[in-house]
Each structure stands twice: as structure tokens, then as C-alpha cells.
Amino acid sequence: MEAAAAAAFASGLCPSTRASLSSSCSSYSSSSLLLLRDKVSLSNCSHCTNVKHSRNFSVRASSSADSVVTLLDYGAGNVRSVRNAIRHLGFDIKDVQTPEDILNADRLIFPGVGAFAPAMEVLNKTGMAEALCSYIEKDRPFLGICLGLQLLFESSEEDGPIKGLGLIPGTIGRFDSSNGFRVPHIGWNALQVTMDSEILEDVGNRHVYFVHSYRAMPSDKNKEWVSSTCHYGDNFIASIRRGNVHAVQFHPEKSGDVGLSVLRRFLNPSSNRTKKADGGKASKLAKRVIACLDVRANDKGDLVVTKGDQYDVREQTKEKEVRNLGKPVELARQYYKDGADEISFLNITGFRDFPLGDLPMLQVLRYTSENVFVPLTVGGGIRDFTDSNGRHYSSLEVASEYFRSGADKISIGSDAVYAAEEYLRTGVKTGKSSLEQISRVYGIQAVVVSIDPRRVYVKNPNDVQLKTIKVSNLGPNGEEYAWYQCTVNGGREGRPIGAYELAKAVEELGAGEILLNCIDCDGQGKGFDIDLVKLISDAVSIPVIASSGAGAVDHFSEVFAKTDASAALAAGIFHRKEVPIQSVKEYLLKENIEVRI
């Protein structure tokens, strides 16, 4: 693991955990860990084969109330959503601060986030790895989520090979993108249930939300553990179950009502009485419909959802006020209820204000994540920043604050353009750009690059050295070709780089997804720029979100039929209540395009 990642990871520990480890991870690992090892019995845990065990560390049946859940949060990403989901279901949370807290838990949830290597390093250094093995081997109620499933396996190829806890045979490997499947696997997919597992009983044929680049594969050696698989390029393990031990590769806390019922059934097994694996027609990865909220302070200083026409968000009146289309938290909740697969907040003046000074934006995320259980993306102002007192904040710190406040993904605009320009100029990946740093620590699946291009028509494709395409509609002077110029600072400044060149460069630098806007189409309601979406989705193997221009349901089916976009994002038609999200989805279903209902 790289030192920077390790430091950031460790510093990301929740305050309580950090405090409990304040003897510092390195000194903790010598004397304290030895004491712990003397106490722990770990018969089959291959992770611990070198450890001599003298006596059992007894696991006591706690007398604490049934409503308490123990949560293992080592601070690497957005665990707020898991916390919110648990609280939403009426349970209290006890945070793990010492390995003993794991051993004494009545039920333990381990929402692994971030990358495999730093997670194992923290678990090893803190003694949590041994405690986890002991707890699981005693068949105590356990639910691992995402990386919390992967860590149970023998090893991972992620920055590896790296040894895992070794409880389940198998190696975690990367999805193969050479067969045309985009990696990371992001979105709502179907499960094939292979073994009775009470926690999955409400899932039936409905979609659940995945976001990952690595996965475990079923084999003869681990088949007794596998409770469901999912098909994406190959058939990977979507969940495991043995006795009271469960783990899921998908995110129940981000899978809407279906996901909440998975958590409920784990937390309260007596709710298993009503068996209703009904309905739903999920069969593969669904196309996503995303609601986008462009947010900024209006002239009175209130944070409002606004919406521009070709990025101009001011009313065409004498006062030129910022267009106000509602309150961010309320609208996000509404869109969640209406069936949005994901919600994006773009802090559109983040490029000029310091986002950590913009506490209302962090509050918006915190409040929204309390009862919106689909993925939240936030963008705007993610870059290094030095405030007026000379205090320097790295882009990683800014992103970390967004993750801690409830974001699942962060979106980088202007700073990604500068990083791509430098990379194309020098051919060197410095590892220092915000994009590289954040994706190294939080994983590429957590990093979106938002592109704000503007069409530039040319008569002859050789007029520019950038990638041009033949356009479907001629330019104002009959031009047949165009390139797409990237902009920064909310479209205010054009840069000498095209969307095509940028997309390819940021994929190499560690972007996990592209949010593809188009200034010409923004707010026009005339449909997505199909030429642009096709150009970019054909150029990269990460998912592409088509954005800008949706005005009717058939615009969504058109972009999915004519391009390989993974998702379509809209703002104006939803804010102005012209087309409900549900109507978009019903129309897509009618057109045989799989969506989550």
C-alpha cells in the first residue's frame, strides 16, 4: 500500500476509533496485539496461521437490548448511509473501538469501504482481523457489505496479491473489461439466488445496487458459502451465507426499499415470517435514470436548486436573480420516492468558493442521506485549496468531508481538466492530481469526472488536431464536423482539450465514471447530444452518464438505443414537473429497455 493512502486511510478513522488507537497503529501492533493474540482462538482462520493460541477469547451473549447493532467502521468512506439505514429501521449503533467490542457484539455489521490492502492493514494492525475471524467462526450474527464480503476471502488481486481473512476459499479478482462490460460494475442488477437465505427473501426478481471493480467467483471450494450470484460478464458471488454469517457484494443501504428489507431481515430475523419474494422482472444490469440538482446560494445567501439554459442560471428579468426551483433536501427526497436510481448534487459555484466553507452543502448531504437510500453523488470545488489564513486543504480532505457527510461518489470538473491537460502534455502520471489521489484512497468507483463541453463546428476535420466527428445536424454555416471543447469554471472558460481526449485521459488517471454534460443542449429540452454520447461511450470502458437536453420520455429511450450510455441524467424536466421519473421508466420498459421499478 502506498504511504499516502495508508496515512489518509488511518487519518480517516472515525474519531472514536482513532482515539482508541491513539497509542498509534504501529506501537499498538507490538505489545497490545501480542496480549490480544494470546487470548484469541482462531482454528480455521488462515489469516492467523502463524499465531499461537493459548486459550479461547470467550464470546459472551450480551445482555444489551435487542435494538443495538455493533458497527465496524474504520473510516474509509461513506458509512453514514449504513448508519442512517440502521437507525431508520429503529436500531441503535454501537461503534467498534476495540477488538473486544467485536467479540462481545450481539450482531455485527461490517460495511467495508475503500480498497482491500489498506482495509486489511488497518484490521491487522488493530487486532480487529483476529477478532473478526473468531467472531465469525463462532457463527455469531454477521453481515459484511461489499469489501466486507471480499475481505472474508483468502486473498485479493487488488494492488496485490494481498492476504485476506482467509475464511472463505477463493481470490478476489478484477472484472474483465475486454469482453465489452464496463468496469467498474456500477448500477442496479439482478440476483440469482442459489441457496435459501432469509435476508434475501424480499429481493425476488428485483434489482439491487452494486458498485465495485473486483469480485469473488464461485467455485467447488466455496460453493457451500454462496447464496446468490449476479451476472455481469461472468457469474460472480453476490452474497454468501453460512449459519448466521452473511455478506453481500451489493449495497443494501443504497438499494432503496429492497435493500432496507435485506437489512431488516438481518437485524430482526423474526420479521422473516412474511415470505414474499414476489414480482419484479430484473434480469440484468438496468439502465439508470438520475435526477440532478444544480445547487448554489442565491443572492440572499440561501442554498437553492437552480437550473440554467446553456449554463446561464439567472432569470431573464431586470433583476437577473438566480432561478430558484426548490430546496435541495426536499427535492432529493421527492426524487427518491419517485424512483430516481441515483441523485447528483452539483455545487455549481464550488469552483470559486471553498466547499468546506460551504457548510450548508455538507448539511444538505447529511440531511438527504438520512432517508434517501439510493446513491448520492456530489460535485463542485473538489481541488486543493489554501484559505485566507494560509491553511492548506488537499482535494483529498475536501472529498473525505463529502464522503463523511453522506456522498457515495464525488464528481470532479475543472480540476480533472487541468490534470488531463498535464498528463497529455508530459505523458507522466504524477499521482498528485485530485483525481489520482482520491481514486487511490477511495477506489475508482467513487470518482466521477464531470465534463462540460461545448460544440465547435469545423468545415474540415483536419482544421484541428483534436478528435472531430461528422455531426448529425450541420453547423450554422453548413459545417459537417465538430469537436467538443472542454470548459472549466462552470463553462466560463474554454480549454485547448476535447471531450474525447479528456475522457480517455481521465480514465487512465483513475476516473470510475463520466458524467457527460453538453453546454449546447443544457436546458433546451430537445434531447441528448447523441453524437457526443456515442463518441465518448465508445471511447472509454468506464460507465458514461448522458446528461443535458432531456425534454421528453423518448429522449431517454433514444440515448439508450443509439449509444452505450449506462445512465441518463436530467434536471429541468423533473424540477418543473413536466415528466415524472416514473413515466420515464414506464416508457423505457415499454421500449424493452431494462430499468429498476
- The least distance separating ligand 1PR from the CB of residue 584, rounded to whole angstroms, comes to 12
286 with 596: CB under 8 angstroms? yes
Which residue is catalytic, options 294, 341, 401, 501? 294
Q: Residue 433 or residue 450: which is nearer to ligand 1PR going by CB?
A: 450
Q: Residue 381 or residue 498: which is nearer to ligand 1PR going by CB?
A: 381
C-alpha cell at 486: 472542454
Q: Is 510 annotated as a binding residue?
A: no
253 is catalytic: yes
- The least distance separating ligand 1PR from the CB of residue 417, rounded to whole angstroms, comes to 8
C-alpha cell at 1: 500500500
DSSP assignment, residue 320?
Answer: -
146 is catalytic: yes
User: Scanning the structure block, which residue is given the C-alpha cell 469554471?
Assistant: 489
- The least distance separating ligand 1PR from the CB of residue 452, rounded to whole angstroms, comes to 5
In sequence order, what are the residues at sequence separation of 6 or more whose Cβ sits closer than 8 angstroms to the Cβ of residue 345?
Answer: 293, 295, 328, 332, 361, 364, 365, 368, 376, 377, 378, 379, 380
Q: Which residues pair with 168 in a beta bridge?
A: 153
Q: Residue 208 or residue 361: which is nearer to ligand 1PR going by CB?
A: 361
Q: What is the DSSP string of 456-517?
A: EEESSGGGSSS--EE-SS--TT---EEEEEEEETTTTEEEEEEHHHHHHHHHHHT--EEEE-
- The least distance separating ligand 1PR from the CB of residue 335, rounded to whole angstroms, comes to 13
Residue 388 DSSP SS3: coil
- The least distance separating ligand 1PR from the CB of residue 313, rounded to whole angstroms, comes to 5
Q: Residue 69 or residue 542: which is nearer to ligand 1PR going by CB?
A: 542
Q: Residue 126 or residue 349: which is nearer to ligand 1PR going by CB?
A: 349
456 with 483: CB under 8 angstroms? yes
Instruction: State the Cα–Cα distance between residues 473 and 483, nearest whole angstrom.
Output: 13
- The least distance separating ligand 1PR from the CB of residue 326, rounded to whole angstroms, comes to 14
Q: Is 475 annotated as a binding residue?
A: no
Which helix (H) or strand (E) covers residue 318, if one does? none
Instruction: State the Cα–Cα distance between residues 559 and 563, nearest whole angstrom.
Output: 6
Q: Which residues pair with 228 in a beta bridge?
A: 193, 239
- The least distance separating ligand 1PR from the CB of residue 451, rounded to whole angstroms, comes to 8
Q: What is the DSSP string of 27-44?
A: HIIIIIHHHHHHH---SS
Instruction: State the Cα–Cα distance between residues 352 and 56, nearest whole angstrom.
Output: 58
Q: Residue 193 or residue 356: which is nearer to ligand 1PR going by CB?
A: 356
Q: Residue 126 or residue 306: which is nearer to ligand 1PR going by CB?
A: 306
- The least distance separating ligand 1PR from the CB of residue 373, rounded to whole angstroms, comes to 22
CA distances (Å), origin 574, targets 290, 350, 534, 577: 10, 23, 24, 5
Helix pair 116-126, 3-11: axis angle to 10 deg: 60
Q: Residue 419 or residue 570: which is nearer to ligand 1PR going by CB?
A: 570
313 with 323: CB under 8 angstroms? yes
CA-derived radius of gyration, the chain = 24
For residue 254, count CB atoms less than 10 angstroms from its CB and return exposed for 0-12, middle for 13-18, buried for 19 or more. Answer: buried
- The least distance separating ligand 1PR from the CB of residue 448, rounded to whole angstroms, comes to 9
Q: Is 381 annotated as a binding residue?
A: yes
Q: Residue 168 or residue 412: which is nearer to ligand 1PR going by CB?
A: 412
C-alpha cell at 338: 419517485
In sequence order, what are the residues at sequence separation of 6 or more whose Cβ sits closer than 8 angstroms to the Cβ of residue 296?
Answer: 303, 304, 306, 313, 322, 347, 348, 349
452 is catalytic: yes
* 509: amino acid identity, one letter: L
Which residue is catalytic, options 253, 358, 421, 436? 253
Strand pairing report for 376-379 and 409-412: parallel
Residues in touch with ligand 1PR (CB under 6 A) = 292, 294, 307-308, 311, 313, 346, 348, 350-351, 379-382, 411-415, 450, 452, 490-491, 517, 522-523, 547-550, 570-572
CA distances (Å), origin 432, targets 76, 239, 354, 428: 19, 36, 20, 11
Strand pairing report for 513-516 and 447-451: parallel
Which residue is catalytic, options 45, 48, 133, 146? 146
Which residue is catalytic, options 251, 436, 529, 558? 251
Residues identified as active-site: 146, 251, 253, 294, 452
Give the annotated binding-site residues for substrate: 381, 517
Annotated binding-site members for L-glutamine:
146
